[in-house]
Amino acid sequence: MKDLQVSYGPVNAVQGVSFGAEKGKVTVVLGANGAGKTTSLRAVAGFHKPRGGTASLDGKSILGAPAHRVVRQGMSLVPEGRKIFFPLTVEENLRIGGYAAPRGSHDTAIDGIYDQFPILRDRREMPAGLLSGGEQQMLAFGRAMMSQPRVMLMDEPSMGLAPTMVDRVMSSVRAIADTGIAILMVEQNADASLEIADSVVVVNRGRTVWSGPATEARENTAIVHAVLGETALDG
């Protein structure tokens, strides 16, 4: 994604954001509330019409394509707040996520997700609304994986979770990347996300203001503090 621009009427919410994702790597996008992070993800995923810029997946343009077409091209979104279907069972939620994948592949994909998240196998017949917050986030990951994506966009996966569960969720993100999927993750929890990140992008007021390896961001915390404030990192 290069020089992405998105407007809400007269408001220019995103004015020049650029970042990317690599196979098997985690790219974390950091920025204060209102910086344009979520808007950028949703524009690439096909939920907002961009005003300008470019975005491509494996060399093919996807910017401006509808969400269902973006999924079929190999990119899925894990939305902020998880957005799972509470009355449906865990397995029904997973099967909904596979709507863009070949129908004959669903059972194999579900078995793979259960292997990665054993707690979901244990809860497979349970209404999703009865899961804990962390379990719901794992279900949201699994649902997105059902379309067999090459790239996963994740929007604030640690939001609203207890600290101990944040660590489990971040470990799950790392494990998903280690299967070869490219991860592009928006996060407010800089401390936790930097522990698993390979690269970092910092967004401020709708623009990319810094990008580089996660090791550099961890060693030079002033980079993150400058945009998120002194409470962004625990230590």
Say how many Å lie between the first and final Cα of the chain, rounded. Answer: 32
Tell me how many degrees the CA angle 85-143-66 measures, rounded to the nearest 5: 90
Residue 234: per-residue pLDDT? 46
Distances (CA, A) of 196 to 115, 138, 146, 232: 21, 17, 23, 16
Residue 26: per-residue pLDDT? 98
209, 223 Cβ separation under 8 angstroms: no
Fold of the domain built from segment(s) 2-228:
Rossmann fold (3.40.50)
* 21-48 burial code (b ≥16 CB/10 A, e <16): beeebbbbbbbbeebbbbbbbbbbbbeb
Tell whether the model's pLDDT for residue 229 goes beyond 80. Answer: no
Query: Taken in order 80, 193, 151, 227, is the CA torsion positive or negative?
Result: positive
3-state secondary structure of 178: helix
Characterize the bridge pairing of strands 207-213 and 199-204: antiparallel
Residue 188: per-residue pLDDT? 86
Per-residue confidence band for 17, with pLDDT thresholds at 50, 70 and 90: very high
pTM of the model: 0.91
State pLDDT tens for residues 113-158.
999 999 999 999 999 999 999 999 999 999 999 999 999 999 999 9
Pair of tokens at residue 147: 């379309």
Separation of alpha carbons 43 and 155, rounded Å: 13
Separation of alpha carbons 75 and 62, rounded Å: 10
176, 183 Cβ separation under 8 angstroms: yes
State pLDDT tens for residues 29-48.
998 888 899 999 999 999 99
Separation of alpha carbons 17 and 50, rounded Å: 11
State pLDDT tens for residues 101-122.
777 788 999 999 999 999 999 9
